Structure formats: C-alpha cells, structure tokens
Chains A and B, each alone.
Chain A
Amino acid sequence: MRYVYFATFFIAILTVSVLGFRGTLSTKPPLELIPDMDHQAKYKPQAESPFFADGRADRPLPAGVVAYGRSSTAADGVFLAADDALYQGKNASGEWLHGFPPAVKVDARFMARGQDRYTIYCAPCHGALGDGNGITKQYGMGATPSYHDVRLRQMAEGEIYNTITNGKGNMLSYADKITPEDRWAVIAYVRALQRAQNGTAADVPPSHQSELGLK
C-alpha cells in the first residue's frame, strides 16, 4: 500500500511540474478542454473570416458609398453629411470657414471637451501648450509646428478643421478617431491656447490688473 501512495505522490508532482502554476506567461494559445459554445457562427468586430479573399470580417466600403447617418447636432432632415460648414469646414461660397459652424455651440462644456480630446490626440506631438514640444520631439519628430506663429494664428478655423480631417504633409488624418463635433471642440481649444500664449496687458480685466502689478 505504501508503494501505491508513493506512486500517487509521484504522479502529482509530475503533473505540477508539467503543468506549472497559474499565471505563468505562455506564448501558446489557451487550451480549451470543453469548448461549450465559445465559438459561434457569427462575426465580431475586427474578426477573421475565411470567406472573403482578404480574410477580414469587417468589410471595407465599396467605392462611391456615402455614409448614411446623422450627427446629433445636425438640423432635422439632414441625413447625409450635407452641412458643409460642419463637415467640410467650408462656407457657402466654398472658402475656408472663419469662426465656428452654426451647428455647434461654443460654451464652457464644449471647451472642456476640446481640452480633453486635445490632450489625448494632439498633445503627444503639439505639446500641452501647443508650442510643438510634445514628447515625440525628444524622439526625433522635429517638424511639428508651434500654433503660436502668425500664420497659424490667422489661419481660418475651417482650414484647421481640414488639417485634422484630411491631414497635411507629415501629419496624417485624425478623422477616424475624432468625430466632426469634437474636431470643432479641439479647434476651440487650440484657439484658447493661442490666446493664452499671446495675451497682452489690455486683455486683463481692469479689476484684476492691480493683482498683476500692471498699474
């Protein structure tokens, strides 16, 4: 009987040494003892499909397709992205829009949203101050411009919108990451950064000028 116990003990040790402990890193796909209904005949986003030649379950849009849908701020009845000011940054005569499209309301909440999005998507390159000194500069991205030179301060809002939407030069498009409304919010925040870096004594309200020793 003692030998039977020895043998069992040996098998237990063997099992542990072969299977290891929980949480050990492994490059092998997890074993599925009982697959239940883990894999059903349906597609999830970004999944693989053996059916299509390119192996993707997500189908790219065929050429010429126009996205159907309506943004929350567009006027009723505007189903296709028909609001040129909002979606293209252009005014009625096809020039870059100065100011903001009527469909967005610039207020404190909008600014806060812009700051939030700016910090995620723009600050890595353009820096928290918009001076082009984001973290990537240290790693060799020298070409990121500062927002504070005259050209960019005078640039129409619509043209900045176009840069975010379609990219420009070395900066690629952010259209897949930022919704049209949020792009305008980012622009509002960029404008605020530009104001902040180019303030004059006259911008300080008279009641506060003495606090800064201006009088």
Chain B
Amino acid sequence: MSNLFPKSANKLPLQILVYLFFVGGLATAGITYYATNSYANVGYAPVQPVPFSHALHAGQLGLDCRYCHSNVEKSGHANVPTAQTCMNCHNQIKVDSPLLAPVRDSYASGDPVPWIKIHQAPDYVYFNHSVHVARGVSCVSCHGAINQMDVVHQDKSLTMSFCLDCHRAPEKFIRDPKLVTNLDWKHPEGESAQVEQGKKFVHDWNVKPPQSCSGCHR
C-alpha cells in the first residue's frame, strides 16, 4: 500500500483552521474599514458646474455662511443659494467670466444651476439645521473647515455614531450661537474651558439632544 498522504498531512486540518481565522480577521478588518461611510462618503468632492470656491468667498472675502445659505437658521433645510445671490456681486465683478456662464444663464432663464449635492442624509433620517444652529452647534462640527476649501468635500462621516457622539456629550461642542458661522473659532482658553462653558449652556438652555430612536427616525 502506497503512502497516499504524506505525514505532514496530519497537520493540515489545524493549518487550515488557523488560516481560516487569519482570513476571517483580515476580512473583518477590511469590511469595518471600507464598508462604512467614513470610507465611502468622506472625501466626496464632485466636479460642480461652476468652480465655486468657499476659500475665496467665505474665507478671503469673509462672507457669512448665511449670506448664501440664508435659510440655515430658519428651516430644517440649508439651502444652496439662488443664481440671484451670485448676481448680487457678479453683475459687477467678473461680469464676463466664462466660468460664471451657468450662473448668468440660470439668472436669465430661471432654471436652477445644477449643483451636485454632497452631504446626504438617508431618507429614513430626520435632520434639521435650524435646531442645531440655534443651539450653537457650528457648521464646522459637521462639515469641517469649509471656509478653507476650494472645492467642498465631505469631511465628517455623518453616521449614526457620529451624531450620537455629540448628542451624548453636547457640551464639548456647543458655543455662543453668534459664533456658529465663525468656523475658525475655538474657545480661547482651550478644551476644558469649552466643556465648562458648554455645560453652562446645556444647563441654561435645557439642551436635550434626542438619543432615542424616534428622535432621528421619525
């Protein structure tokens, strides 16, 4: 009788088991890293019909976010501005710029500029801007340093755990509502003073961000 299996085959079941563990671990690591918003959505920076720069308009010119996103503190939806908003200035500045042709067409025809939406809450999530802005949650907490971006990209994951991290400890983030559109603002006395002040705001305004499912999935 010939030796069909060499002696080393005795170890094979164990080796296969170890290998399966190894591959399983690798796959788990890969999925937790890749199959999440932090990978899929963060960094999304589509090519817009007009190369509009926040670094120029909000940073260098110092326009307040609300000059363009004028509904952000009044309604749940933060509007992308109308073409007229741009024409306020661009009827006198860079009047003939070819880059601004879609804006001029839109102003003349009344059809919107086809801006591409970047940040996207799934339809089963209820999100409201005005509630957050009125309570001193700055744009920078959820959108990153927009005033330094030439092309807007998604900077934060906006996953459920991201929302809950703040809803469980809002004092780390909330500030005087007058400062929400000042994206460079940090508490001048550092982290602990921020928490100190945040705790005061949470108490004074009775801030209770929802942590129950029906708060956000309504």
Interface-located stretch among B37-45, B191-199, B203-211: B37-45
Q: For the complex, is B167 an interface residue (Cβ under 8 Å from A)? A: no
**Which of B15-38 touch A at CB < 8 Å?**
15, 19, 22-23, 26, 30, 33-35, 38
Which residue of the partner chain B has the closest CB to A139? B93
Mask, A91-125, CB within 8 Å of B = 1, is 00000000000000000000000001001110011
- Is the Cβ of B23 less than 8 Å from the Cβ of A8? yes
Q: Please judge, given known A-B contacts A139-B93, A140-B93, whether A27 and B122 are in contact too, CB under 8 Å.
A: no
Q: Which of B66, B67, B84 is A173 in contact with, Cβ under 8 Å?
A: B84
| Interface flag for A66 (CB, 8 Å) | no
Judged by a CB distance under 8 angstroms, whether B91 is at the interface is: yes
Cβ–Cβ < 8 Å partners of A176 in chain B: 70, 82, 84
Q: Is the CB of B91 within 8 A of A121?
A: no
Q: Mark B125-137, 1 if CB is under 8 A from A, else 0.
A: 0000000000000
Rounded to whole angstroms, the CA-CA distance of A45 and B87 in the bound complex is: 22
> Hey, which chain B residues are within 8 Å of A140, CB to CB?
92-93
Query: In the complex the two chains form, is A56's CB within 8 Å of B112's CB?
Result: yes
In the complex, the chain A residue whose C-beta lies closest to that of B63 is A124
User: Interface majority SS on B: helix, strand, loop or mixed?
Assistant: loop
Q: Does A22 contact B (CB under 8 A)?
A: yes
Bound-state CA distance A54–B117 (Å) is 18
Task: Sort chain A's interface into a size bin.
Answer: 35 or more
Q: How far is the CA of A28 from the CA of B120 in the complex (A)?
A: 14
Residue in A closest to B70 when the chains form the complex, CB atoms: A177
Say whether A172 contacts B67, CB under 8 Å. no
Q: Contact check, A4 vs B19: say whether CB atoms are below 8 A apart.
A: yes
With an 8 A cutoff between CB atoms, is B88 at the interface?
Answer: yes
A4 to B89 alpha-carbon distance, docked (Å): 64
Chain B residue at minimum C-beta to C-beta distance from A136 = B89
Set of chain A residues within 8 Å of B45, measured between Cβ atoms: 25-27
A77 interfacial contact with B, CB 8 Å:
no
Residue of A at shortest CB range from B23? A8
Pairwise interchain contact A22-B124, C-beta atoms closer than 8 A: no
Residues of B within 8 A of A32 (CB): 40
User: Complex: how many Å from CA A26 to CA B120?
Assistant: 16
Q: How far is the CA of A181 from the CA of B166 in the complex (A)?
A: 34
Who on chain A is nearest to B38 by CB?
A: A22
Segment 178-193 of B: residues with Cβ below 8 Å from A: 178
> Cβ of B26: which chain A residues have Cβ within 8 Å of it?
8, 12
Residue pair B39, A172 in contact (C-beta under 8 Å): no
Interface flags, B68-107, vs A, CB<8A=1, else 0: 0010000101011010110111011100000000000000
Of A35-43, A190-198, A204-212, the segment with at least 4 beta carbons within 8 Å of chain B is A35-43
Q: Is the CB of B91 within 8 A of A22?
A: no
Does chain A have a CB within 8 A of B62? Answer: yes
Give min CB distance, A110 to chain B, whole Å. 17
A135 touches B82 (CB 8 A): no
**B166 vs chain A, min Cβ distance (A):** 20
- Taking CB atoms, residues of chain A closer than 8 Å to B62 are 124, 135
Chain B positions within 8 Å of A40 at CB level: 123-124
In the complex, the answer to whether A38 meets B39 with C-beta atoms within 8 Å is no
Contacts of B43 in A (CB 8 A): 22-26
A143 contacts chain B at the CB level, 8 A cutoff = yes
B92-A170 in contact (CB<8A): yes
Asked if residues A141 and B89 are in contact (CB atoms below 8 Å), the reply is yes
Contact sample, A vs B, 12 pairs, CB 8 Å cutoff: A8-B26, A15-B30, A24-B43, A30-B41, A37-B122, A38-B123, A39-B123, A40-B123, A120-B67, A141-B93, A176-B82, A176-B84
A-B contacts besides A23-B43, A42-B123, A176-B82, 19 pairs, CB < 8 Å: A1-B15, A8-B23, A22-B39, A22-B43, A25-B45, A26-B43, A26-B45, A29-B44, A46-B79, A46-B112, A124-B63, A135-B61, A136-B93, A141-B89, A170-B92, A171-B88, A172-B91, A173-B84, A177-B70
Of all A-B residue pairs in the complex, the 10 with the closest CB atoms, nearest first, are: A40-B123, A38-B122, A45-B77, A177-B70, A120-B64, A30-B40, A30-B41, A141-B92, A22-B39, A25-B43
